[in-house]
Each structure stands twice: as structure tokens, then as C-alpha cells.
Structure 1
Amino acid sequence: MANSVTQLNNYFQGKQASHIVSWAEYSTGPSHAIKWTVQCKVSGEVKGTGVADSKAAAKEDAAKQALKALGIA
């Protein structure tokens, strides 16, 4: 099964609307304990926010939330 980021991208590519998905990411904390926050935006509106120790995990969580918010998953 595809991960949530791939599933979200595939969904919008199928609708020829992949350009409406964007990501905002930033980190906080000391270099030995960074926390990543990633927001998934669809048409500029935040649909999911993930916070994790790695950027990939935060992005995956944000995508999963976005899929649910959009009624895709």
C-alpha cells in the first residue's frame, strides 16, 4: 500500500491538479533534539499538520491528516 504522501500526490495528479498541493516545513529545538513541523496545504488552506523527530515522519502525518480532511481516506 502506498504511503499517505504518495496517495495524496497520486490523487491530485489524477485530477491534473497536483499544483494545488504545497508543503510548509520548519524545525524547532536544539540541533541534538530537532522537532519537525510540516503542514500540508491544498489551495493554500492547511489540511494537515504533522510534528515528529524526522521531516519525513512529520510530512507523512500531515498527508494522512489531509487525506482524512479531504475525505479521500
Structure 2
Amino acid sequence: MPESITQLNNYLQAKQATHTISWLDYSTGPSHDIKWTVQCKISGELKGAVPFAGTGVANTKAAAKEEAARQALVSLGL
């Protein structure tokens, strides 16, 4: 599992709050150039320091999820 996702899961596990995380993902673009967008929500709130933070956009779903987790960690001060 990528580093930021693992770190976020460990943080929530220590707080006994792993059930509060959710991910929303979708793709856009033509099949030969798909862009994935993943949003990280904790307790139903989009986590991020600035608008659209807690959101990752990348060519793969895994990379977008990792970026969303990284931004969520920043917003949590970690």
C-alpha cells in the first residue's frame, strides 16, 4: 500500500476511527487518456487545506488515491 494511504490508515486506526474514511473516485476523458479523480472524506468531510485539497487527479486510480491521502494528511497536520 502506498505510503500516504498507509500513514492515513494508521493515524485513523490509532484513533479507532477507520470506519470514518471514505473514498469517492471517478474517471474522465477518452479511453486512451483517462484521468482519475479521487476524493478523501473523513466523517463525510472532504479533507484538505485549500479548496479541492483532499482530492487527487492522476493517470491511474492508485496514484490519484495516494495524492488525495497525502493532501488529507497535510490538512490533519501530519
What is the TM-score with the length of structure 2 in the denominator?
0.88
Query: Whole-Å Cα distance in 2 between the matches of residues 53 and 64 of structure 1?
Result: 17
Task: Give the strand-richer structure, 1 or 2.
Answer: 1
Give structure 1 stretches of 5+ with no counterpart. none
Q: Does 2:71 align with 1:65? A: yes
Matches within 5 A, 1:9-28: 9-28=9-28
Aligned pairs, number: 71
Matched position secondary structure for 1:71:
coil
Query: Whole-Å Cα distance in 2 between the matches of residues 57 and 17 of structure 1?
Result: 24
What is the CA-CA distance between 1:49 and the residue it aligns to?
Answer: 0.2
Q: Among 59, 66, 70, which residue is 1:53 paired with?
A: 59
- Percent identity of equivalent pairs: 72
Give structure 2 stretches of 5+ with no counterpart. 48-53
What is the CA-CA distance between 1:57 and the residue it aligns to?
Answer: 0.4
Query: Whole-Å Cα distance in 2 between the matches of residues 70 and 21 of structure 1?
Result: 13
Supply the AA of the counterpart residue of 1:51: V
CA RMSD, Structure 1 to Structure 2 (Å): 0.9
